[in-house]
Structure 1
Amino acid sequence: MNYLNEFRKFISSHYLYTGVRLTLGAVIPCLIFHHYGILSDLIAFPLGTLLIGTTDNPGPLHRRRNSLMIAIVTCFAVACITGYLRHIHFLAFFEIVIFGMFFSLVGVYGNRANSVGLIALLVFVFNIDNHMSGDAVLRNALIFSAGGIWYLILFLVLQKIRPYKLIQQLLGENFVELGKLLSVKAGYYFAKPDYDELFNQMIHQQVILRENHETLREILFKTRQIVTESTNTSRILMLMFLDSVDLMERILNSQQNYSNLHRAFDHSKILRLFGTYITWLAAELQEIGLSVQSGFPSKPRHDLDEAFNKCQRTFDSIRERSMTHENVEDFIMLRQILNSLQDITERVKKLHRATRYDSELSKEYNINVEIDDFTTKQEYSPRILLDSLSLKSSHFRHAVRVTLGLMIGFLVSLFFSVGHGYWILLTIVTIMKPAFSITKQRNLYRIAGTIVGAFAGFLTLYLIKDDTVIFVIMMLAMISAYSFLKINYFVASIGITLYVLLWFNFLNPEHITAVLQDRVIDTVIGSIIAYFVSSYILPVWEHTQINQYMKAALDANRKYFDNVSQIFTGVQLDINELKLHRKEAIIAMANLSDNFQRMLSEPKKQQVKMEEHHQFVATSHMLTSYIASLSTYAQTVGQSYLSDEFKPMIRQIDRQFESAIQLIDKEENASVDIIKESLPQNQKLLDLLSARKKEIKEMGIEKSAQSPARKALSDFKTINGLFELISTITIDEIKILQKIAIGKV
């Protein structure tokens, strides 16, 4: 890991930007109120700013604005209802059931609605334990809402001043992660690669990139300013995003049989040269990402033209010395890698220019896709919520667990002396997530972060007596807390605990020791409750859901394959449809990988048939890569290699997909006899290969290199080979699904 790059990435990221915005949004009013001696009376104001501000997830301006307004209104209503009824304990249980179920279930409407629901539950928790008079309830609710409105105004003003900032930050992060993906790819070319570890790293990067692409698509395609505005900046940003999607496909479709490559070329050192050059390209992509984030033009780190020419010369030299009619297929594979490197090199050079917002480059801006097809459509029909009222729904099960956890926590706070009892409920609400693996991880991070934060708070107050220094530390803790909230919950928990303790020290210094003890004890109690409820109350284990992800991956890959393969039979290319199927295949693959990764964090007894599921994830990744490679040829030379001999191959591969899907659906008529059938041979390819070997044998390498048959054979063999690989992989998936279905190892 390049720690300097990671630091630069964080410093210019939207995570730090958000942390600073939230911190200043809360602290500036506090300083003003403190100056006038009214801070203790208006403490709900900064609390409203912080809570409402955490619902502000990246996305289009109108969605962010609307979610903030909905959060303000919802939290005001919850604060009033809870405040007026909190002294009637039996009604509090009804509130827990209603609020716990409803605000957990709204997660069916997506992450933005889920954030609003979570904050509404936190407001409920804050007010259920507060001991204010009835007349102060409305006043505090209004003050809290005023804090939320203040954040809304701050957000709108900053958005007006820097409308492209969030897009630049997300786009820059996307290029950094693309660079990491390419860096992992370089590992396949060095000596003795660890294929399993490299594959796991590839999967991890693809999950990250899928999330980045989805967020960027939503912002870019649903923001009228970006889509229709003709400013140079907006055009360049859109162009860079579209190039990043194509670049990711190019990286994925460069999949090769690396074992054969090392067997054939390890002695020549050319693979190590390729690996080094790919590492350089990865470094260039990361530099581009960091420059886009910071808003400054990027500067190339290496002379890419000279480096690529060296790769080209080495390849030519080895081919001249070593290629024979027997190993021509190995050199075809090496040539494909060189072509991919050339394409990626040109793309990287173009992106370097784009960071300078070159007006000439922006003239290439052209959206040739249907925007509505490439954005997530979120429905808000009540029917969706009603349909989730079933034990088959993971959202409903999660809502039941949250509600029961809150009930237990509330009872503990009533019958035991636990100080700030609402901290127990806060811990339960913030830790519990629909997936057990995420709940488990956040549980550990919350306990460890609270203990470390409490210790840091104790040392700060014990060693430092200057209030100004303590205030600065509190500010830094707040920035850390809200900067790391989405990326490292352990660090965020440390920051939250530290700044809460220092905040209480300013408000009520004589009781700070009790506060410190209560914070640790209440957090541990809440974590224990959350763990047991998540483990034993209607748990949703990942192995019970993986079938739907496997089927989605198969369906998406089949549609992608059908769309790409038909081009070689004479069907007209529809670039919009092709890109749509590519997007769906990559998303389905990333979702499947994400599900498998969560399964790894579950108890061992719930990790059912892990080896087979891991094999299926790996083959799905390879399948998408091979189809993406076929897509590249379809778009560039597809019309030059039309052949009726591809039709029976396509039909057989489709039958293989169908058999795999039937196995997942456990259909009684599922037929697996297809795995015994050989893929039809392509006679045209056999004739070309025979002619090329004859040329090499009779004319020699140098003279035959100029033959028109060389290029035709290289492309045609690659295309046919991809059909064969896709067929082989789908047969492998059928065999894996058979093992899963009947429990064989």
Structure 2
Amino acid sequence: MIYLDEFKKFIFSHNLSTGVRLTLGAIIPSLIFQHYGILGEMIAFPLGTLIIGATDNPGPYHRRRNALLVAIGTCFVVACITGFLRHLHFVIFIEIIVFGMLFSLVGVYGNRVNSIGLIALLVFVFNIDDHLSGDMVLRTAAIFAAGGIWYFLLFMILQKLLPYKLIQQLLGESFIELGKLLSIKAGYYFANPDYDGLFNRIVKQQVLLRENHENLREILFKTREIVTESTNKSRILMLMFLDSIDLFERILNSQQNYANLHRAFDHTKVLRLFGTYIIWLAEEIQTIGIAVQSGFASQPRHDLDEAFAKCQKAFERMREYKMTHENMEDFIMLRQILNSLQDVTERIKKMHRATTYDAEVGKGYTLNVQGDNFIPKQEYHPRILLDNLSLKSSHFRHAVRVTLGLLVGYFASLFFELGHGYWILLTIVVILKPAFSITQKRNIHRIGGTLLGVATGFMLLYLVKDSTALFVFMMLAMVTAYSFLKINYFIASTSITLYVILSFNFLNPNHIQTVLEDRVVDTIIGSVIAYVISSYVLPVWEHSQINQYIKEALDANRKYFDLVAGKFAGKELDINEMKVSRKDAIIAMANLSDNFQKMLSEPKRQRLNMQEYHQFVATSHMLTSYIASLSTYAQMLNYSEFSTEFELMIRQIDRQLLAATDIIEGKKNNTFEITRESLPQNQKLIELLAKRKKEIKELGIEKADQSASRKMLSDIKTINGLFELISTITIDEIKILQKIKAANT
């Protein structure tokens, strides 16, 4: 790890800018109010800034703007209703049921609306007693809304001054994560690779990239200035994004039979040389990512031309002395890796140039994809909410858990004499999530972070007496809290606890010991309630949903395969449609992987058929990779004379994919016979291969290389091998699904 690079990634990241924006947005008015001695009366203002600002998720300008306005209005109404009726305990129980169900169930409309529902519940919790507003309910609600409006104005000003900053930050993060993915792939080229460990890391990395790409697609294709009123900078940003997607596909389709590679070449240094070069390429991609985030041009770390030439010479030297007609196919596989490395190298050199924002780079740019097909669709029809009013809906079950948790928490706050009982409800709201695995993780992080934050706060108050120093520590804690809120909840929870304690010390230093005690007690009570509720009240275990994700992955891969393979049967390839199918297949694969990763964190009794599901996730990943590899050749080559042979193979594979889908849908079919059918042989390839081996044997490598059939053989052998791999993987998936079906019956 290069620590300077890690520091740069954090400094220029979207997460840090969010933390700084929220902190300054809350601190600046607080200092002004403190100067005039009215901070105690106006404390709802910075609180409104922080809470409303929490709904400002990455996305297109108009969606962020609308979400902030809706959040301000919603929170104002909730604060008024709660404040005016809080002295009637039976009414509060009714409010908990109504607000708990409504604001949890709105998650069916996506993450942005879900975040508005979450902060509406937080506002309800903050106003459930009179600690914030006393008898001046309307005044406090108005001050709270004013804090939200202040954040909205801050957002509008920054958007006007830095219209491309968010795109640059997210695009830079995408390159950084892409570089990490490539560095993981490099592990396959060194001695004794841990195949399972590397695969699990790749799966997690692809899930992160999927989320990042979804955000970027929405922002880029929904931003008018990018799509219709292009400037040089916007053109180049769009160009870099599209290139990063193609680069992701190139890395994805570099899947090889690594066991065979090591069997054939472990005794040489060529694989280690390739692995080292891949690490260099990964470092270059991350360097580009940091440059995109910062807005400065990137500087290459390595001489890629010289390094690639070294790899090429090593391959050619070994090929000259060690290739025979018997191991020729191994060298074809190695040649394909070298070609892939050359392609990635050229793409990286192009992206280095793009970071200069030179007009020549974006010259001739045209958006050759239909943006509407790449934007995540989200409907807001009331029917969607009504359709989820059922125990079959995971969203409805989550809403019931949140509501019940709040009811139990409120009863506990009344039963126990606690000075800050609303912290119990606050803990329940932020911990309870639809997935048990996430709830469990946040629960542990919440308790651990609270204890560490309280201990750190106590030590600071005991050792540091200077108020200016404490104020600096409080600001740093706030920045850290909101920078890590979405990436590391333990650090965020620790920092939130710390800045809450320090802020209470400024407001009311005489009662700080009570605050420390209440923070720990209330958090533990809330965490225990959240754990019990998530474990025993209408839990939604991941194994109950995984079949749907499997079906989506099979359907997406089948559509992707049929579209790409059709080119080899003589059909035209629609590039835009192919890219849409590729996107859908990658998203389906990432969703399935994410579901499986969540299963690993669930109780052992709920982890059913884990070995089989792990095998299916692995084969699904390889299937998408092999189809992506096939798409690369489909875009470059056109060997129509082989279309008859390929068409027979395509039909067989399509039947296999359909059979796998039939199993997951519970349909009866002849899957047993399909698994026993062998893929039709490519007779023309067999003849071409025999001819090439004969040339090498009789003429030698040097003269045989002058044959016109050399490149054709290399291409067709690789394409044919991909069809064979896809068929083998699909049959493996059928057998895995048959095992799962047998275990469940």
TM category, shorter: over 0.9
- Which residue matches 1:272? 272
Deviation at 1:95, TM superposition (A): 0.4
- CA RMSD in angstroms comes to 1.2
Structure 2: which amino acid aligns with 1:61? Y
- Which residue matches 2:3? 3
> Are 2:63 and 1:63 equivalent residues in the alignment?
yes
Contact 2:569 2:640 (8 Å CA) reproduced: no
Alignment of 1:541-560 (within 5 A): 541-560=541-560
> Are 2:589 and 1:616 equivalent residues in the alignment?
no
Contact 1:568 1:641 (8 Å CA) reproduced: no
User: How many angstroms apart in 1 are the aligned matches of 2:311 and 2:320?
Assistant: 14
Deviation at 1:364, TM superposition (A): 4.0
> Are 2:276 and 1:256 equivalent residues in the alignment?
no
Structure 1: which amino acid aligns with 2:143? I
- Which residue matches 1:606? 606
Deviation at 1:131, TM superposition (A): 4.9
User: How many angstroms apart in 2 are the aligned matches of 1:133 and 1:294?
Assistant: 43
Structure 2: which amino acid aligns with 1:374? F
Structure 2: which amino acid aligns with 1:68? L
Deviation at 1:570, TM superposition (A): 1.1
- Which residue matches 1:109? 109
- Which residue matches 1:214? 214
User: How many angstroms apart in 2 are the aligned matches of 1:693 and 1:102?
Assistant: 71
> Are 2:89 and 1:100 equivalent residues in the alignment?
no
Contact 1:52 1:72 (8 Å CA) reproduced: yes
**Helix, strand or coil at the partner of 1:361:** coil
User: How many angstroms apart in 2 are the aligned matches of 1:479 and 1:349?
Assistant: 36
- Which residue matches 2:26? 26
Per-residue Cα deviation, 1:283-312 (whole angstroms, up to 9, x for no partner): 100110011111111100000001111111
- Which residue matches 1:148? 148
Judging changes above 3 Å, is the alpha-carbon distance between structure 1 residues 343 and 398 closer, same or farther for their aligned structure 2 residues? same
- Which residue matches 1:244? 244
Contact 2:225 2:231 (8 Å CA) reproduced: no
- Which residue matches 2:81? 81
- Which residue matches 1:489? 489
**Helix, strand or coil at the partner of 2:191:** coil
Contact 1:238 1:365 (8 Å CA) reproduced: no
User: How many angstroms apart in 1 are the aligned matches of 2:602 and 2:4?
Assistant: 34
Contact 1:662 1:670 (8 Å CA) reproduced: no
- Which residue matches 2:413? 413
Deviation at 1:272, TM superposition (A): 0.5
> Are 2:621 and 1:594 equivalent residues in the alignment?
no
> Are 2:342 and 1:342 equivalent residues in the alignment?
yes
Per-residue Cα deviation, 1:534-554 (whole angstroms, up to 9, x for no partner): 000000000111001111100
Q: Which runs of 5+ in 1 are unaligned?
A: none
Deviation at 1:418, TM superposition (A): 2.1
> Are 2:176 and 1:176 equivalent residues in the alignment?
yes
> Are 2:708 and 1:705 equivalent residues in the alignment?
no
Contact 1:168 1:293 (8 Å CA) reproduced: yes
User: How many angstroms apart in 1 are the aligned matches of 2:409 and 2:24?
Assistant: 33
Contact 1:481 1:496 (8 Å CA) reproduced: yes
TM-score normalised to structure 1 length = 0.99
**Helix, strand or coil at the partner of 1:332:** helix
Contact 2:44 2:132 (8 Å CA) reproduced: no
Deviation at 1:569, TM superposition (A): 1.1
- Which residue matches 2:566? 566
Q: Which runs of 5+ in 2 are unaligned?
A: none
- Which residue matches 1:531? 531
User: How many angstroms apart in 2 are the aligned matches of 1:528 and 1:214?
Assistant: 35
Contact 1:99 1:121 (8 Å CA) reproduced: yes
Per-residue Cα deviation, 1:353-376 (whole angstroms, up to 9, x for no partner): 001111101114221111100001
User: How many angstroms apart in 2 are the aligned matches of 1:132 and 1:684?
Assistant: 81
User: How many angstroms apart in 2 are the aligned matches of 1:642 and 1:101?
Assistant: 60
User: How many angstroms apart in 2 are the aligned matches of 1:253 and 1:724?
Assistant: 15
Deviation at 1:266, TM superposition (A): 1.1
User: How many angstroms apart in 2 are the aligned matches of 1:464 and 1:340?
Assistant: 58
Deviation at 1:416, TM superposition (A): 1.1
Alignment of 1:274-313 (within 5 A): 274-313=274-313
- Which residue matches 2:193? 193
Residues paired across the two proteins, number: 745
Contact 1:424 1:522 (8 Å CA) reproduced: yes
- Which residue matches 2:451? 451
Contact 1:320 1:701 (8 Å CA) reproduced: yes
User: How many angstroms apart in 2 are the aligned matches of 1:304 and 1:691?
Assistant: 37
Judging changes above 3 Å, is the alpha-carbon distance between structure 1 residues 599 and 641 closer, same or farther for their aligned structure 2 residues? farther
User: How many angstroms apart in 1 are the aligned matches of 2:614 and 2:2?
Assistant: 29
Shifted more, 123-132 versus 389-398: the winner is 123-132
User: How many angstroms apart in 1 are the aligned matches of 2:363 and 2:486?
Assistant: 37
User: How many angstroms apart in 2 are the aligned matches of 1:274 and 1:364?
Assistant: 34
Contact 2:549 2:592 (8 Å CA) reproduced: yes
TM-score normalised to structure 2 length = 0.99
Contact 2:273 2:311 (8 Å CA) reproduced: yes
User: How many angstroms apart in 2 are the aligned matches of 1:639 and 1:394?
Assistant: 49
- Which residue matches 2:324? 324
- Which residue matches 2:389? 389
Per-residue Cα deviation, 1:301-335 (whole angstroms, up to 9, x for no partner): 00000111111111111111011111110010000
Deviation at 1:734, TM superposition (A): 0.3
Structure 2: which amino acid aligns with 1:149? I
User: How many angstroms apart in 2 are the aligned matches of 1:643 and 1:661?
Assistant: 27
**Helix, strand or coil at the partner of 1:566:** helix
- Which residue matches 1:91? 91
Structure 1 stretches of 4+ moved >4 Å: 131-135, 639-642
- Which residue matches 1:474? 474
Contact 2:551 2:664 (8 Å CA) reproduced: yes
**Helix, strand or coil at the partner of 1:638:** coil
**Helix, strand or coil at the partner of 1:505:** helix
- Which residue matches 2:139? 139
Percent identical = 73
Structure 2: which amino acid aligns with 1:27? I
Deviation at 1:347, TM superposition (A): 0.2
Structure 2: which amino acid aligns with 1:107? G
Deviation at 1:639, TM superposition (A): 5.0
Contact 1:285 1:348 (8 Å CA) reproduced: yes
**Helix, strand or coil at the partner of 1:481:** helix
- Which residue matches 1:369? 369
User: How many angstroms apart in 1 are the aligned matches of 2:443 and 2:72?
Assistant: 28
Structure 1: which amino acid aligns with 2:110? G
Judging changes above 3 Å, is the alpha-carbon distance between structure 1 residues 641 and 3 closer, same or farther for their aligned structure 2 residues? farther
Structure 2: which amino acid aligns with 1:75? C
Contact 1:19 1:483 (8 Å CA) reproduced: yes
User: How many angstroms apart in 2 are the aligned matches of 1:197 and 1:308?
Assistant: 28
Contact 1:57 1:64 (8 Å CA) reproduced: yes
Judging changes above 3 Å, is the alpha-carbon distance between structure 1 residues 657 and 521 closer, same or farther for their aligned structure 2 residues? same
User: How many angstroms apart in 1 are the aligned matches of 2:744 and 2:663?
Assistant: 15
Deviation at 1:6, TM superposition (A): 2.1
Deviation at 1:135, TM superposition (A): 5.2
Structure 2: which amino acid aligns with 1:77? V
Per-residue Cα deviation, 1:41-65 (whole angstroms, up to 9, x for no partner): 1110000000000000000000000
Structure 1: which amino acid aligns with 2:469? V
Shifted more, 224-233 versus 258-267: the winner is 224-233
Contact 2:179 2:283 (8 Å CA) reproduced: yes
User: How many angstroms apart in 1 are the aligned matches of 2:701 and 2:669?
Assistant: 54
Contact 2:474 2:502 (8 Å CA) reproduced: yes
Contact 2:235 2:365 (8 Å CA) reproduced: yes
User: How many angstroms apart in 2 are the aligned matches of 1:128 and 1:561?
Assistant: 56
Per-residue Cα deviation, 1:117-144 (whole angstroms, up to 9, x for no partner): 0000000000112257785111111000
Per-residue Cα deviation, 1:517-575 (whole angstroms, up to 9, x for no partner): 00010000000000000000000000111001111100000000000000011111100
Structure 2: which amino acid aligns with 1:643? S
- Which residue matches 1:36? 36
Structure 1: which amino acid aligns with 2:335? R
Per-residue Cα deviation, 1:339-392 (whole angstroms, up to 9, x for no partner): 000000000000000011111011142211111000011100000000001111
Contact 2:133 2:140 (8 Å CA) reproduced: no
